[in-house]
Structure 1
Amino acid sequence: MTNVSCYLLGERAIVIDVACHIATQPKLNQKLFALKKWLDSSDAFIDVVPAMSSITAYLINPEKIKQWQQVIVEKWNDLEMDSFESKLHHISVNYGGEFGQDFGDVANRLALTHEQLIRLHTSVDYQVQFMGFLPGFAYLSGLPAQLHLPRKSTPITHVPKGSIAIADSYTAVYPCGSPGGWHLLGQTDSTLFDAESESVCLLQPGDTVRFVEKSC
């Protein structure tokens, strides 16, 4: 297992970590997503939690932790790099104006016209790297380098539900109203989190997101 570290965390957690190799082997993320899907299919775990370059699996029965560590190692070695099939989501966005309070400022800071900013943000397919901050909040990688901006120095107290935002090398959709420090470009009507739904969260780690400008 030359490109992954698999170790125990406490009495019932197993961590699979590819951080040391992800820069030179970016497709390892695809393999991680495939491993998570396999772990999710087992009834041996309380939860399976993905992060930027790792997965932590929490066992129901801690007495089997060593056994499962070996099983996970063997499964990782058997997985192919391209064994994960991503689910594609199209999310329509109203950009600028009342829907994105930072849109004009971002365009000015990046020396872009409004059309160029929209074109850049909608020009790529983003991948859900991991979930965090809020239920249903997905960190989407793939933001074009021309759009990279640090987070706001002072967060605002209320970001509207469905806001499309960028910060650092990520873009995201706020699943509900909350405080936030990302730059707001627009807003979508798509529901990202629904506690009453069977799937609860629309986006899952490994999914692909394509933003589409909403027609007037």
Structure 2
Amino acid sequence: MTQATIIRQFISEASRHGIGYNLMEAFDQPWKTMEGSVGPYWGVFDHDGTAKFSLAGAVEQPEQWRRGILALILGIVMTVLWLMTRRPTFGHALAMAIAANALSAAVAVALLYPFENYLNVGSAIAWGLGMVLMLPLTLVTLGKLDEVAEVTLGPRPKRLWRAEDAPTDAPLPKVSIQIPAYRENPDMLIETLNSCAGLDYPDFEVVVIIN
């Protein structure tokens, strides 16, 4: 956008004042492999002479409909596959649908990158490795978001067993409190033992395990 705007303004003013001009390195030069991934491709024409943008008329943003369609398709597929394995609440499902579509947008941008930009050999290899790593990263991210959404927006957990009040005259069972203390901070261990000593349960023992 910036390159197209500046060049068009310059050409317009130069033509209006009758000033001759020459665009240096106007053509892409892919053979300049020592200039990174940008230097060989900053011309206003491709290496075969095709203009990257018109030199007249309004400057327009590049079309983004391909990214949008691909992101929408990927988002729908991920959401449907996830819904087939779960029975979520509305809030949980909505949060996961938003997350799936957001991740799909990032995946779509990455997938279409080589079709919208020039890639040298190194960039192509890096892109390929990135796409291979993106699949497990996307799945892990979606799984973590699912856990958070399930805890915050999912159904409230139900107790499998409902405890009842024990009779006041029934004997209480003996309870064993086991405290693992491998290389534990002495002050913390002392505080833990003092807390146990303050319990009002009638029959318990405290076992400190140091191994």
Structure 1 length-normalised TM: 0.23
Q: Which has the higher contact order (CA 8 A, sep 6+)?
A: 1
Choose between structure 1 and 2: higher helix proportion.
2
Structure with larger Rg: 2
